[in-house]
Amino acid sequence: MRKLLVAALLAAGVATPALAQQDSGFVGPRVEGVVGWDRPKSGGERSDGVGYGIGVGYDVQAGDAVVGVEAEASRSTAKDCVRDVTVVGDRLCVKAKRDLYAGARVGAAVTPKTLLYAKAGYTNGRVGVDYEDGGSGAGDTSQGSNLDGVRVGGGVEHAIGGKSYLKTEYRYSNYENGVSRHQVMGGVGIRF
């Protein structure tokens, strides 16, 4: 009897960490890193770059339905430069800088490990304009402006073991002053 009790306690001790690592659905706080293709556009001008950032969120699941809130801070390498704007040798560059997002998502767990979702929220992007006079530098200037907008998108999230997951999503942001942005982002995250 004593050996049976010790064996049962050892088995429970070994099984407890395994149970703690099992997927618990799409529930609770999460943090993630994202990276992908970024294409800001203003008027007819557009530029491709790499977008990257970090996000946080909190999800609630009821049956197959998942609802959550999320926030993200990101940057981009996208920029567009032209030379010889006013004098030979000068350069004017427009750069996509930081982007802040806060919104919500709603989705459906199509399998115990796969979530399809749509998202929408507020976004604020910063655009920088740098001018180099091509000479002494006395005429060099740098300005930035913040643009408010709306982001919509959708994606798929897949649990890869324990509480970690991979995701991919498409998103479109529409800012004021005729500026927009298309992105296809991939991410890796963990739930707590």
The tens digit of pLDDT for each residue in 31-70 reads 999 999 999 998 778 899 999 999 999 999 999 999 999 9
Give the C-alpha separation, 104 to 68, whole Å.
6
Give the C-alpha separation, 166 to 180, whole Å.
26
Considering the entire predicted model, what is its pTM?
0.80
Q: Which domain holds residue 112?
A: 23-191
Binned at pLDDT 50, 70 and 90, residue 24 comes out as low
Q: Is there a domain that residue 167 lies in?
A: yes
Number of domains in the chain: 1
Give the C-alpha separation, 137 to 128, whole Å.
18
Task: Look at residue 153 in the predicted model and tell me its pLDDT.
Answer: 98
Task: Look at residue 161 in the predicted model and tell me its pLDDT.
Answer: 85
CATH number at residue 103: 2.40.160.20
Q: Is there a domain that residue 108 lies in?
A: yes
- Find out whether 183 and 46 touch, Cβ atoms under 8 Å: no
Q: Is there a domain that residue 11 lies in?
A: no
- Find out whether 108 and 116 touch, Cβ atoms under 8 Å: yes
The CB density around residue 135, as the number of other CB atoms within 10 Å, is 12
